[in-house]
Amino acid sequence: MANLFVIVGLGNPGQKYAETRHNAGFWFLDRLVSRLATPLRPQSKLLAEVAKGELHGQECILVKPVTFMNHSGQSVRAVLDYFKLPVQRMLVAYDELDLPPGAARLKLGGGHGGHNGLRDIFRHMQDQDFLRLRIGIGHPGLKDQVTPYVLSRPRQEEQVRIDRAIDAAEDVLDIVLNDDLVKAQTRLHTATREFEL
């Protein structure tokens, strides 16, 4: 199974949260699922909805945890264990407060930056050397406003820019899957600068 690549989108399950900023990782994953012939299907043992298919010549497992954001690590751990994959074969997409709407950044490793989904993934795995796609949603300005901000819908102008950033991230996925992170970073970061608020 070592040739598989796992792509995880972080968010909160349920219609109540579907259009909220905290679900930007789900939005990216849904975009990828739409390119496959098979839809997401519930996999209770993996605590996720999962789709398997080929993207850009690479066999991929697309994962949408159903654990709620703060317990995402349970699902990620279960998926990697089940498919016997190292964290180096995984990309995690999530919302990023420290980037403006329209920005998207790829990085390898690093800290969790206070993101609760990443924090829980760290809690369940010793090795944090996995790829991350940070999708900018902006910051409300004050720390005590963060929770209501991420759990509310973006303004229309913000949504348009976030969607463009997701488009740009999808456009470089083939480069990521072909193991050229630097080239993918350069192309993505350059492309999304014009979308940033």
Catalytic residue ranges:
22
Cα separation, 8 vs 115, whole angstroms: 15
The tokens describing 64, both together, are 């949408």
Token match 């963060």: residue? 146
Q: Which backbone phi and psi does 109 adopt, to 5 degrees?
A: 70, -165
For the chain, the three-class secondary structure string (H helix, E strand, C coil) is CCCCEEEEECCCCCCCCCCCHHHHHHHHHHHHHCCCCCCCEEEHHHCEEEEEEEECCEEEEEEEECCCHHHHHHHHHHHHHHHCCCHHHEEEEEEECCCCCCCEEEEECCCCCCCHHHHHHHHHCCCCCCEEEEEECCCCCCHHHHHHHHCCCCCHHHHHHHHHHHHHHHHCHHHHHCCCHHHHHHHHHHHHHCCCC
